[in-house]
């Protein structure tokens, strides 16, 4: 599993908020290591963050 650090400004983007909502529904937010598990492949996540970075 790979860890990513994302800019805070991504949290205002509806597409990223949707992904976080899916993560909450599927995995919850109570992680002992402090991270979130995102319900998509690494390639999908990189594609989304790449699109958000271009906005």
Query: pLDDT (tens digit, 9 = 90+) per residue, 1-55?
Result: 788 888 999 989 999 999 989 988 988 877 677 778 888 899 999 999 999 987 6
Rounded CA gap, 25 and 51, in Å? 24
- Model pTM? 0.72
DSSP designation for 38: -
**DSSP character for 32?**
T
Tokens standing for residue 45: 């996540």
Residue that has been written with the tokens 């699109």 in this structure? 51
């Amino acid at each position: 599993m790979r860890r990513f650090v994302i800019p805070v400004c991504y949290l205002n983007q509806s597409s990223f908020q949707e992904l976080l909502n899916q993560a909450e529904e599927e995995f919850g937010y109570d992680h002992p290591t402090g991270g979130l598990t995102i319900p998509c492949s690494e390639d999908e996540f990189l594609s989304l963050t790449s699109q958000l970075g271009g906005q």
